[in-house]
Structure 1
Amino acid sequence: MSDRQLRLMMEPRSALWRPYTQMKLAAPPPQVRATDGVRLELEDGTRLIDGISSWWTACHGYNHLHIREAVADQLGRMPHVMFGGLSHEPAERLARRLAKLLPGDLDHVFFTDSGSVAVEVAMKMAMQYWLNRGTKGRHRFVAFRDGYHGDTMGAMSVTDPDGGMHARFSGYLPAQFVADLPTDLDRIASLESLLARHRDEIAGVIVEPLVQGAGGMKFHDGDTLRRIANAAARHGHLLIADEIMTGFGRTGRMFACEEADIVPDIICLSKALTGGTIALAATVARTHVFDAFWSDDPGAALMHGPTFMANPLACAAANASIDLFEREPRLAQVRTIEAALAQSLEPARALPGVVDVRVQGAIGVIQLTQLKDAGWLRRRFIELGVWSRPFGDILYLAPPFVITPDDLQILTDAMVTIAREWSDRFGG
């Protein structure tokens, strides 16, 4: 037996390379053996309330019977078939339903298999839109400080280059324009100037509507989003809305763009699209964008096609998830969660180590002066029966929409308790 085989037998977890983890320093993470409703069950029998819905995906909770039955039925008939040159009813039906759900004429659905790839396709779509119209040189994007759009190369380039985690790649990534959100007169003027000055270079403007997620759970209002949309339209730029996190009810509307009554030229969806069941994403374009690709020239086609795009199992899960939004009071549940979060997290505002407490839809945030000892914070959540994953300088909750008031109270009590203990340990 080789040394490598012996090492793998003695340390079976070493074969896994984990996300966002320095493998040399990290302790083994908790092992999950089952999920049910809003709970994770660990190998040792510990049950944790999932406060962040598996990265904001499990909006209906885990193992929802309707989604399970839809996936099981599809599995028995056709788990997968290539989408190049073929089609199938689950994808056709899902595309029609998304087009009906989305505002305006966002009617043309291109399926992918992850949020980052949905962003890549949106960027590629925007650049080729101009090329197909005979305009060269428009290949750069305007993104916003504190924004985050994914970990693939194009998505990294439109993520905040200073506050994000991709600074090491700065010499390799395409150079984009990074602006401040237009929240005051000076920033509005600065954005307008940027869009006018570089009009012939800009392919599109990309924004996370209302909530900048992994960039720090930072919120802005509908007026700010409307300013961005109006400025993009005024200067002739395509607007890309990255609703990978915010889509499907998380901010209180089915889609965050509805808060500002805007229709982006392209929208990116993923995460809660399948109710947290199977990976699926979609990049959806308005008619005028699609029409730029409608041509007698084969070279004008969108040359992109992930192998597992429009996977039938994932489409079945997504159709079942949309059923639940139609049948059950999800948005009303979000409003109830929002009110409970606002009330229950407010006591943390007075703590010396707390910078801010904020709530948007089913997202609650306690921002600390700084994040020290993330390992202690995560262990402390587990001790209190909660799964959360603090990052940057924030503690946050984004629970499943079906959570009961009692379980939500456990989550918020844990947040406030840990914020208080953190303040006692590290001061203000």
Structure 2
Amino acid sequence: MRDLTQLEFDQHHLWHPYTNVTKPGPTFVVKEAEGVHLTLDDGTRLIDAMSSWWCMMHGHRHPEITRAMHDQLDRLPHVMFGGLTHDPAVDLGRKLLEITPDTLTRIFYCDSGSVSVEVAMKMAVQYQHALGHPGRSEFATVRSGYHGDTWKAMSVCDPDTGMHHLFQGALSVQHFVPRPPAVLGQDWPEDPSANGLAELRRTLETGQHKIAALILEPVVQGTGGMYFYHPEYLNQARRICDELGILLIFDEIATGFGRTGELFATSFCNVEPDIICLGKGLTGGHISFACTMTNDRVAKGVGGGNPGIFMHGPTYMANPLACAAAKAALDVLTAQDWRTRVADIAAQMATELAPARDLENVADVRVLGGIGVIEMKYRVSADDAHARAKDMGVFLRPFGKNIYTMPPFITTPDELGQITAGMLRLAREL
């Protein structure tokens, strides 16, 4: 074993996400990262066009975030949150309340985005139970959604086309409606049969006594296909949920903290959810962390029921190191003119990706904020994209039919031009 190189050991013993261990495909050994660049073991520098799966908003090793983590590491790396608290948790909580929707006043810290969704779903069920509705333990959602890889979160991912259809027989059966048909930027059709609300109402009314909450990704469906839909769907969904006593959960793990051009995708609509899930960019990608926020109605509802306490408590809940990183990352975000920066990124991507529309195998090109997508007419291979990465100087990882980027907000116009050129090359060659 000692004779194996780092990469050989990796390929023989380490299991990567969504990877066949018998055919691991091209894998790069990263030795260092700074700003938008990854430096490989052979000295090659690649632009991280994925923001390391959408979380590295401010670039790798951002000095203010790493400084906050170093300072915290010297004082209090971790302490249990049961019966104890600490400044980083309180300071981060104050910052979150400054920037999130006004009604969301209760914060539950989590280890990761998937856990944030699990917490939201447990919270909804316990709330309904506290109100005397123990039968309301199921969930409604829209197709083409994705909410994480943990067990309950998988149950509200698309059961047919999603990554977890393999587990269909083992997961809880939920209530699915077609994805919202009205696209962002188009006129909202008033006919409920055309805008998707007729089917949503029918499903929620039929399952009213079984459904605890409706959960969806607001405006942008991420891993389910990078689909952008009309925010009026959310306004009307809120109204229907309120009529039927069903909670509304927004999964903003991928869309939060400026990625869509708004601070939160919730800002595209006129309503606020009962529960929101946040993660990824929360720490600027420097350490795993997430949170679930809710309103006083839900929090006090849970507290007023039996057993009164919320039945969840991760070992590393409110980890001080992660809280310090998150507070610093949010300070970095709000101290800059992030809105103009993201708008500039969007404008450049829209211009530079437009030629892809003329390619025969391209189905669509779309941009929203710091999200750029070339949708192909067939599935594309991440391995084939990796094989071209060193030559392009850009690391892109397509999924499904989508060649896409979510670049760090610090990406320069020249670096972004290199990313879009790489995307066009993949669209022509894959």
Fold-level similarity (TM above 0.5): yes
Instruction: State the distance in 2 between where 1:244 and 1:114 align.
Output: 9
For 1:177, the equivalent position in structure 2 comes to 175
For 2:187, the equivalent position in structure 1 comes to none
Instruction: State the distance in 1 between where 2:308 and 2:419 align.
Output: 51
Q: Does 1:410 align with 2:418?
A: yes
Q: Does 1:281 align with 2:279?
A: no
Q: Does 1:241 align with 2:238?
A: no
Instruction: State the distance in 2 between where 1:418 and 1:28 align.
Output: 16
For 2:116, the equivalent position in structure 1 comes to 118
Misfit runs of 4+, over 4 Å: 4-11
Counterpart pick for 2:152 among 151, 154, 157: 154
For 2:65, the equivalent position in structure 1 comes to 67
**Counterpart amino acid of 2:396?**
S
Q: Does 1:253 align with 2:250?
A: no
- Give the drift of 1:373: 4.2
Q: Does 1:376 align with 2:400?
A: no
Instruction: State the distance in 1 between where 2:25 and 2:238 align.
Output: 45
**Counterpart amino acid of 1:12?**
F
1:273 and 1:374, CA in 2 relative to 1: closer, same or farther beyond 3 A? closer
1:171 and 1:101, CA in 2 relative to 1: closer, same or farther beyond 3 A? same
- Give the drift of 1:165: 1.5
Counterpart pick for 2:318 among 300, 306, 310: 310
**Counterpart amino acid of 2:273?**
P
Q: Where does 1:16-165 land on structure 2 (aligned, <5 Å)?
A: 16-165=14-163
- Give the drift of 1:7: 8.3
SS of aligned partner of 2:139: strand
Contact 2:130-2:306 at 8 Å conserved across structures: no
SS of aligned partner of 1:365: strand
SS of aligned partner of 1:292: helix
- Give the drift of 1:380: 1.8
More displaced stretch, 403-412 vs 179-188 = 179-188
Instruction: State the distance in 1 between where 2:426 and 2:2 align.
Output: 42
Instruction: Spell out, residue by residue over 1:101-125, the C-alpha distance to the aligned partner (whole angstroms, 9 max, x if none).
Output: 1112101000010000000000000
Instruction: State the distance in 1 between where 2:26 and 2:7 align.
Output: 14
For 1:269, the equivalent position in structure 2 comes to 278
SS of aligned partner of 2:94: helix
Instruction: State the distance in 2 between where 1:138 and 1:60 align.
Output: 41
More displaced stretch, 371-380 vs 62-71 = 371-380
Counterpart pick for 1:196 among 205, 223, 238: 205
For 1:425, the equivalent position in structure 2 comes to none
1:182 and 1:374, CA in 2 relative to 1: closer, same or farther beyond 3 A? closer
Instruction: State the distance in 1 between where 2:73 and 2:137 align.
Output: 41
Computed over aligned residues only, the root mean square deviation of the Cα atoms, in angstroms, reads 1.7
Counterpart pick for 2:349 among 321, 338, 341: 341
- Give the drift of 1:377: 2.2
More displaced stretch, 33-42 vs 163-172 = 163-172
Q: Does 1:360 align with 2:368?
A: yes
Q: Does 1:205 align with 2:214?
A: yes
Counterpart pick for 2:9 among 7, 12, 20: 12
Contact 2:113-2:278 at 8 Å conserved across structures: yes
Contact 2:380-2:398 at 8 Å conserved across structures: no
Instruction: State the distance in 2 between where 1:369 and 1:107 align.
Output: 44
SS of aligned partner of 2:388: helix
TM-score of the aligned structures, taking structure 2 as reference length: 0.94
Contact 2:361-2:377 at 8 Å conserved across structures: yes
Q: Which runs of 5+ in 1 are unaligned?
A: 423-428
SS of aligned partner of 1:293: helix
Instruction: State the distance in 1 between where 2:303 and 2:157 align.
Output: 31
1:54 and 1:10, CA in 2 relative to 1: closer, same or farther beyond 3 A? closer
SS of aligned partner of 1:142: strand
SS of aligned partner of 2:307: helix
More displaced stretch, 397-406 vs 368-377 = 368-377
- Give the drift of 1:221: 2.2
**Counterpart amino acid of 1:275?**
G
Contact 1:8-1:15 at 8 Å conserved across structures: no
1:134 and 1:34, CA in 2 relative to 1: closer, same or farther beyond 3 A? same
Instruction: State the distance in 2 between where 1:383 and 1:371 align.
Output: 22
Instruction: State the distance in 1 between where 2:420 and 2:398 align.
Output: 14
TM-score of the aligned structures, taking structure 1 as reference length: 0.94
1:352 and 1:309, CA in 2 relative to 1: closer, same or farther beyond 3 A? same
SS of aligned partner of 2:355: helix
SS of aligned partner of 1:370: coil
Instruction: Spell out, residue by residue over 1:290-334, the C-alpha distance to the aligned partner (whole angstroms, 9 max, x if none).
Output: 111234x77121011111111111100110011112211112211
Instruction: State the distance in 2 between where 1:421 and 1:246 align.
Output: 30
For 1:426, the equivalent position in structure 2 comes to none
SS of aligned partner of 2:215: strand
Instruction: State the distance in 2 between where 1:61 and 1:142 align.
Output: 36
- Give the drift of 1:10: 10
1:316 and 1:372, CA in 2 relative to 1: closer, same or farther beyond 3 A? closer
- Give the drift of 1:71: 0.6
